[in-house]
Each structure stands twice: as C-alpha cells, then as structure tokens.
C-alpha cells in the first residue's frame, strides 16, 4: 500500500476547517472530462526488464564520455577524482539541506567555510559567499550588488561583448524592471570607452568567451577612475595558473564552478561562485559562514551573514536567493582540497599545453587559421574553410568526435569560426585524430 501521511480522521478535520463536505467537492471547479483521466499504463514488468529498457533509452544519448569531445563554451569536461563522489554520496551530506537552524549543522557549516576559504584563495578576494545556482546567476547577482553599492544612484552597467552570451542574457533578464541601462554587448568592441559617472559596473571575462587571456589592469583602472566596480567572470581552473583577478584590482569575482569536480551532468546542477572585497560584504547576496569558538573555547562555525528575505525585512534584502547549491559547493571543496594548489596548477598546465599543441597542429592545415593575436588558455578560435555545422556533423557521424562551438550563432562577424576546447581529458591521440578528420575539409 502507498504511504499516505494523513489518516481518515485527519482528512475529515481538514475538510471541516475549510468548509468542504468531501474530497470530491475540492475538485468541482475542474472540468469533469479532465478530472480523473484514464491512465494508460503498460503492463507491469520486472526490475530487470525496467533496467534494460531504461539503459537502452540512455544509450541513445550522445555524451562526452567514451568519445573525444572538444566542446567547451562554458561547460567543461575535466577529470573528477573518485574521492569527490565517494564523499558527496555520504548520507550526512546527501540528505543535508540549507541549514535553517545553522549552529546544529556544524558539518555543513564547516564544509561551506572551507569552500569559501578556497574560493577566496583562488580569486584573490577577501570574502566569498556560499554559492549561487550557476555562473550566470552569480554574474547577475554581482551586477545587482554593484547597483546596491552605488546606492541605486548609478543606473548603467557595461558588459563586455566577450562575456558568455548566455550570462549576458541572464543579466538582462534578472535586472529587467529595475530601470537599468545594460549596454556594451553590441558589436565587437570592448565598452571601456563608454564608462562615465553613471556607470555602476564594468563586467569582463577572464579568460574571455573566446578563450583569450587579457591583462585586466587597464579595465580596473578605467572603471575605478569613474567610481565603478570591476566585475570579473573567471574560469576557476585557469586561476590555478593565471594571476588571480584580485591582483588586477577586481571588486567582485564570479564564475561557474561546474569544472571543480561537478562533471557535465547534462547541464546541471551547476555552481555559481561569488567573491568580493570585505567592504562590500553587506551588499553581497547569499550567505556567509564564519569561524568562531564556543563557551568552552572549542572551534565552531556559525552563519555569520545571510542577507535574504526570510531572515530580515523584505525591503532590506539584497536578493531573494533562497537556496545555495550546497552539495555542488561541497563537491568543489572536496575537489580543491584533493588536488591542492600544486594539483590545480598541474591541471591548468595540462589544459594550456594540450590546447596549444592542438592549435599548432590545426593551424598548418590548408584553409584553417587559428586566431592567436592574443594569448589563450584552453579554448581558441579557428577560422574554417566551410560552415562549422557541416564540419561538426561530419566529425560526429564519421569520426565519433564532438566538435567545437559555432561562434557564428552569437557573433555574426565570426561566421565560419569554431571555438575549440582542449582539457586534460583530451589525449594526444584524440587531438591527432581531430586533426586527421579536419584534413578532409582542408583546401
């Protein structure tokens, strides 16, 4: 029998409280022909047969496991050590939820505290929150933070055209109705020349959406000269090798933490990290866990700050974020702790060198040109002799390779340009096979 939490007496009491005579009376407003539809369920089968059927359906998915993949553009295939999943599946963590009575959730609080500490070390910032839903929402929350820092007096936000196009779209969606002027993503030019006294924030990406590494000092100086904040969308794996944004003068650093032990997972759940300077901590969305000592002098953890609408007056809340991606933040913490500073740097170095090996091989193919006017990390742009969609279809159908991202979808001036991504997961043999496959299109 199914588990039904309410007894007959419970249901009678609830019906009496709302003035209904029966359960059927509750559904009188629903048209009769749709009220109780016939469920055409198939005949019962065994667990073994169900498993076989589900596995057959799952096998129709084209996944990045079991075949070479050179597709990045915001979701990346990195190796996830076994320890991440082993600890993540422990019942104490898998069943834990947002700590509404935080001080009794010491394990959860400590995990969040360690995650915050490592994000601060990675980004060069002073304080980190306990995460957002994904990189796009953390970027949008950073924009709102900048508006709040400016006390709503500044209404302009400049987005680099080379911030992830989906992040830019989410920023626009998040802030619609706030009376903001979101600009700077038109065309191919960076928007720094449009900074003025009404600008609350300049948003750039590091490395940018095309994989290029830029010196952010000029952007930080230009933003600060007019009193605006510099928001940097960063790749955390790249920060294992590159100078952290905090050293460039960034005010807020956000990004997608999926590549820190999260896997691809068909698009989610992902993890948005958010770090800033201490002076902006009370304008930061989400929650902050701190370390303290109890009355016996023992180390303990507390929910130091939680600027959300359930805890303080709605008109004083900085955001209506309700749930952090706690389990994904834990995965990131385990991943960073397992690899350590040297391990993360090694992963970044492998990405860098393998990407440059691939770029050098592809660049000598007739008709293919790698755009390398600027340094790049693990993604690079290739001008192709034919449509990217045609190349990708052939790669998948004939070579079982997942190709790159068609930049012409979002940048008209980059028609027939492919964004390729190479990580530590791509072997030399896979890269050589990709080059061999591209030779069919060489002209």
pLDDT of residue 335: 97
Q: 319 and 346: one domain?
A: no
The set of residues, in sequence order, having a beta carbon less than 8 Å from that of 133 and lying 6+ positions away, is 269, 270, 272, 325
Domain boundary among the residues 283, 314, 336 is at 336
pLDDT of residue 443: 83
Residue among 70, 83, 72, 71 nearest 343 (CA): 83
Q: 359 and 330: one domain?
A: no
Query: Is residue 119 within 8 Å of residue 249, measured between CB atoms?
Result: no
- Residue 199 tokens read as 């600008």
Q: 331 and 348: one domain?
A: no
Instruction: Give residue 313's pLDDT band: very low, low, confident or very high (50, 70, 90).
Output: low
Sign, CA dihedral 76-77-79-80, equals: positive
Domain assignment of residue 261, yes or no = yes
pLDDT of residue 438: 97
SS3 call for 96: coil
Q: 234 and 95: one domain?
A: yes
Domain assignment of residue 26, yes or no = no
Instruction: Give residue 96's pLDDT band: very low, low, confident or very high (50, 70, 90).
Output: low
Burial 252-285 (b: 16+ CB within 10 A, else e): bbbbbbbbbbbbbeeeeebbbbbbbbeebeebbb
Q: Is the pLDDT of residue 95 over 80?
A: no
pLDDT in tens, 323-333: 667 889 999 99
Query: Is residue 129 within 8 Å of residue 154, measured between CB atoms?
Result: no
pLDDT in tens, 141-160: 999 999 999 987 999 999 99
166 vs 306: which has the higher pLDDT? 166
pLDDT in tens, 290-311: 999 988 999 999 888 876 555 5
- How far out from the chain centre does Cα 383 lie? 28
**CA 144/CA 217 separation, integer angstroms:** 23
SS3 call for 233: strand
Q: 327 and 353: one domain?
A: no
Domain boundary among the residues 310, 336, 362 is at 336
pLDDT of residue 425: 97
> pTM for the complete prediction?
0.87
Domain boundary among the residues 284, 317, 336 is at 336
User: What percent of the chain has a predicted confidence (pLDDT) above 90?
Assistant: 72
pLDDT in tens, 402-419: 999 999 999 999 999 999
SS3 call for 287: strand
Separation in Å, CA 13 to CA 6, 125, 138: 10, 56, 45
Domain assignment of residue 33, yes or no = no
Query: Is residue 370 within 8 Å of residue 380, measured between CB atoms?
Result: yes
Q: 311 and 353: one domain?
A: no
- Residue 165 tokens read as 């196009």
Instruction: Give residue 140's pLDDT band: very low, low, confident or very high (50, 70, 90).
Output: very high
Query: Is residue 442 within 8 Å of residue 368, measured between CB atoms?
Result: yes
Domain assignment of residue 418, yes or no = yes
Average the pLDDT over each of 37-41, 164-168, 246-250 and give the range with the smallest value.
37-41
CB < 8 Å & 24+ apart, contacts of 114-117: 114/333, 114/337, 115/329, 115/330, 115/332, 115/333, 115/336, 116/288, 116/289
Residue among 170, 142, 430 nearest 284 (CA): 142
> Would you tell me how many other CB atoms lie within 10 Å of the CB of residue 297?
7
Angle subtended at Cα 213 by Cα 212 and Cα 216, rounded to the nearest 5 degrees:
130
Q: 327 and 386: one domain?
A: no
Mean pLDDT of 265-285: 92
**β-sheet bridge partners, residue 205:** 233
Mean pLDDT of the chain: 91
The set of residues, in sequence order, having a beta carbon less than 8 Å from that of 296 and lying 6+ positions away, is none
Q: 323 and 360: one domain?
A: no
Q: Which domain range does residue 397 map to?
A: 341-441
pLDDT of residue 408: 96
Tokens 């030019």, residue located: 189
- Residue 406 tokens read as 């068609």
pLDDT of residue 39: 86
**CA 39/CA 201 separation, integer angstroms:** 54
pLDDT of residue 310: 52
Q: Is the pLDDT of residue 321 over 70?
A: no
Instruction: Give residue 316's pLDDT band: very low, low, confident or very high (50, 70, 90).
Output: low
Q: 127 and 231: one domain?
A: yes
Domain assignment of residue 291, yes or no = yes
E strands of 217-318, at which residues? Answer: 229-234, 252-256, 272-276, 287-293, 299-306
Domain assignment of residue 181, yes or no = yes
439 vs 285: which has the higher pLDDT? 439
Residue 111 buriedness (CB in 10 A; 0-12 / 13-18 / 19+): buried
Q: What total of structural domains would you count in the chain?
A: 2
What is the Cα gyration radius of the chain?
25
pLDDT in tens, 199-258: 999 999 999 999 999 999 999 999 999 999 999 999 999 999 999 999 999 999 999 999
Q: Verify cis geometry, omega within 30 degrees of 0, for the bond prior to 207.
A: yes
Residue among 274, 279, 282 nearest 308 (CA): 282
**CA 434/CA 391 separation, integer angstroms:** 11
Q: 313 and 404: one domain?
A: no
Q: Is the pLDDT of residue 322 over 60?
A: no
φ and ψ of 350, to 5 deg: -60, -45
Q: 293 and 347: one domain?
A: no
400 torsion bin: left (phi>0), alpha (psi -120 to 50), beta (else): left
Average the pLDDT over each of 46-50, 211-215, 266-270 and give the range with the smallest value.
266-270
């Amino acid at each position: 029998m199914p588990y039904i939490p309410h007894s007959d007496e419970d249901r009678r009491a609830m019906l009496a409280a709302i003035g209904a005579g029966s359960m059927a009376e509750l559904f009188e407003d629903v048209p009769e022909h749709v009220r109780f539809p016939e469920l055409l369920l198939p005949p019962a089968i065994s667990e073994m047969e169900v498993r076989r059927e589900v596995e057959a359906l799952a096998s129709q998915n084209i996944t990045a496991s079991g075949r070479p993949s050179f597709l990045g553009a915001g979701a990346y295939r990195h190796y996830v050590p076994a320890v991440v999943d082993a600890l993540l599946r422990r019942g104490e963590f898998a069943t834990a939820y947002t700590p509404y009575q935080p001080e009794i959730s010491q394990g959860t609080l400590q995990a969040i505290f360690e995650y915050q500490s490592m994000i601060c070390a990675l980004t060069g910032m002073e304080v980190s929150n306990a995460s957002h839903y994904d990189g796009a929402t953390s970027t949008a929350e950073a924009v709102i933070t900048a508006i709040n820092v400016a006390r709503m007096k500044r209404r302009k936000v400049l987005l680099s055209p080379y911030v992830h196009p989906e992040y830019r779209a989410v920023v626009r969606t998040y802030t619609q109705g706030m009376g903001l002027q979101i600009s700077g993503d038109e065309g191919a030019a960076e928007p720094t020349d449009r900074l003025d006294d009404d600008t609350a924030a300049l948003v750039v990406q590091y490395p940018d959406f095309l994989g290029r590494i830029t010196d952010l000092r000029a952007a930080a100086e230009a933003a600060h000269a007019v009193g605006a904040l510099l928001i940097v969308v960063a790749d955390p794996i790249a920060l294992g090798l590159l100078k952290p944004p905090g050293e460039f003068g960034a005010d807020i650093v956000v990004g997608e933490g999926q590549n820190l032990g999260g896997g691809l997972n068909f698009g989610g759940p992902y993890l948005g990290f958010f770090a800033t300077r201490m002076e902006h901590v009370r304008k930061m969305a989400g929650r902050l866990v701190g370390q303290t000592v109890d009355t016996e002098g023992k180390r303990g953890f507390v929910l130091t700050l939680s600027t959300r609408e359930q805890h303080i007056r709605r008109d004083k809340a900085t955001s209506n974020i309700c749930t952090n991606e706690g389990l994904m933040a834990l995965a990131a913490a385990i991943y960073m702790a397992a690899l350590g500073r040297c391990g993360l740097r090694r992963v970044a170095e492998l990405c860098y060198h393998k990407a440059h090996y691939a770029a050098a091989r592809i660049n000598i193919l007739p008709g293919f040109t790698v755009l390398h006017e600027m340094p790049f990390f693990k993604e690079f742009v290739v001008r192709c002799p034919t449509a990217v969609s045609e190349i990708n279809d052939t790669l998948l159908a004939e070579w079982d390779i997942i190709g790159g991202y068609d930049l012409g979808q979002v940048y008209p001036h980059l028609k027939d340009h492919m964004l390729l991504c190479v990580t530590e997961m791509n072997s030399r043999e896979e890269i050589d096979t990709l080059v061999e496959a591209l030779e069919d299109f060489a002209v």
